[in-house]
Chain A
């Protein structure tokens, strides 16, 4: 038993009381599931108790995010546990109560002004539109990474109270809210980050999505293997046909590659080594596997898998969405290649053996 098995079991128990459902504009998240997770202290895992969290390690937080992803739970645990919470901590900012959902967004088009209202440093106002906000309209707080005020190098990590802010109706392919928030001199507490620190925050976001992609891919494979054992045609289970076996084996190869690399990237984050390149690689590899995993899962499931009644779409639609979020495949591929070539044209191999 690994140290995380108990966490996984607890999350599974909770998930069993909340069937995944097709998200709509009216029902954009699973408030009941969030409440149950929060009540069990699971929405503060990985954040120290002094900061209002429940303690625990990165591995515990990852296990929660992965298990919720497998169960297609419509709650912002990835954003809160793996990105927003740890980023606030690292920037020496106060973390809001973990019982309230918090999300993270990169806000490149927002301008930030320092304010001195007598409260001391670390107060800012933010103006502009933050696009692609995961769980916009759901999250009570948004941690944004925005360009530093004019004349200052680096970036600002700021915590915004989102409760009064209207969000536009935009959704990813799985119906998860991805709207925009319009900020008009929104007050925020914040910290200045160096470019390198800002890069690590972006990488955390990408790695969070990679963890979700890996877990959901594993689950899709498991569902597909199970279905191939149950569904009979021509008098035998689908899994007895060699063509189907080839497809499932191909999926298994992709899933194993993704889980091995994502696991290694999480460990790199834990050690604080090569975080950006490790996360970039995990995100790109996990995103690439989606093509094979989702395509073959649907092929093997036949028409039943093409319906909203069947559970498969809860994860395949998320896979198709998550691979393009938190920085596109193209963007992270370039970050990875750029980093690996940083030591010059002959530096590729040494860099490859260093990353994870």
Chain B
């Protein structure tokens, strides 16, 4: 699976420098603190709004929808700088990364006009409504149903689960069954609905992750009436639309940089102590990051050319999220630091955050086992 090189981009380096300067100023002003895995847990709508004001959300979208018509390479530079700094990007992350592009691809003119400019402004946040209590990896088995009523509206019943940041978000793109399941074609009869999360009949129940943090939720739909014009794309085309989203969802720098703030802290320690074993470990980790960056950049360039590199995207997510977890073990082998969220030592805190979030890296967005199945198909084995 050879990936063509990403084009060099002056503009990307320019915007990278701007983002770095912005982040340094924000850190100095105490507007945020660096944490691990902030694209899940770092919700800060004010910060998202600042990014929107600077033109760093919806960067690649057409100007008529509030976008900035900049290249995928520029967007890549912005997102990776934000992640490396451990900045609070969770509020807008899903909307900017995949809901917006999904609306651009399949939304009606009205949907685009109404929603995209607000996403680009950092004022409108989205959730992914795919998983359900009985449907994880086997997404096609979902049971949440939407039925047309006489007025042509959709009546939705069912429950979504693990819905990240539903309690902070405005809309969900929710995968629902719009016709009964057909055992001869499991992927038929699914559709995507654009659902305003403030509609009556929607209950959002918190679910706490290992460190006690409230990031994901159960979202229950009881006779929720969704206006008829909130169908996204075509009725029955949900499976295809969901699959197309995945290349965006799986290949970005957040698939190997979730624990980068821990690496940065470790780098600072290595610079201080010069311990030879730790120096070597830092070198090995850095070589892995450099390879992942090349893969991720090259996929971003392919997406920009209009390709749908689903197999490389699955592959980089597998290798990248494995790395995110390995970082913890590699570092703890060469430093004498006890991980604790209360540690006075920033390295101890970063280790604790990374460890308690670790099981999620290789699950969210499709488990690594499922990803390897996709890669195996790419190798011609299934």
Contact = CB atoms under 8 A, between A and B. Distances in A.
Given A228-B381, A348-B267, A353-B16, A281 B286 contact: yes
Interface in A254-304: 254-261, 263-264, 267, 280-282, 284-285, 288
Given A254-B319, A256-B295, A346-B268, A337 B373 contact: no
Contacts of B378: 252
Interface in A54-77: none
A348 B287 contact: no
A336 B284 CA distance: 8
Contacts of B372: 245-246, 249-250
Contact of B381 (A248, A255, A285): A248
A6 interface: no
Nearest to A340: B286
Contacts of A334: 276, 279-280, 283
Given A245-B376, A249-B315, A285 B1 contact: no
A240 interface: yes
A59 B270 CA distance: 36
A330 B66 CA distance: 50
Contact of B380 (A229, A246, A261): A229
Interface in A296-350: 329-330, 332-338, 340-341, 344-346, 348-350
B379 A333 contact: no
A42 interface: no
Interface residues of B, number: 52
Nearest to B379: A225
A334 B274 CA distance: 10
Nearest to A254: B319
Interface string A218-256: 000000010011000000000110101110111011111
A240 B295 CA distance: 27
Interface in B245-279: 260, 263-264, 267-268, 270-272, 276, 279
A290 to B, nearest CB: 13
Contacts of A353: 16, 80, 293
Interface of B: 1-3, 5, 16, 20, 80, 84-85, 260, 263-264, 267-268, 270-272, 276, 279-284, 286-295, 298, 312, 315-316, 318-319, 322, 369, 371-373, 375-376, 378-382
Interface of A: 225, 228-229, 239-240, 242, 244-246, 248-250, 252-261, 263-264, 267, 280-282, 284-285, 288, 329-330, 332-338, 340-341, 344-346, 348-350, 352-353, 355-356
20 contacts: A229-B380, A244-B381, A248-B375, A252-B378, A256-B1, A259-B2, A260-B3, A260-B298, A264-B5, A264-B294, A281-B286, A333-B283, A334-B276, A340-B283, A340-B286, A345-B267, A349-B260, A350-B20, A352-B290, A356-B294
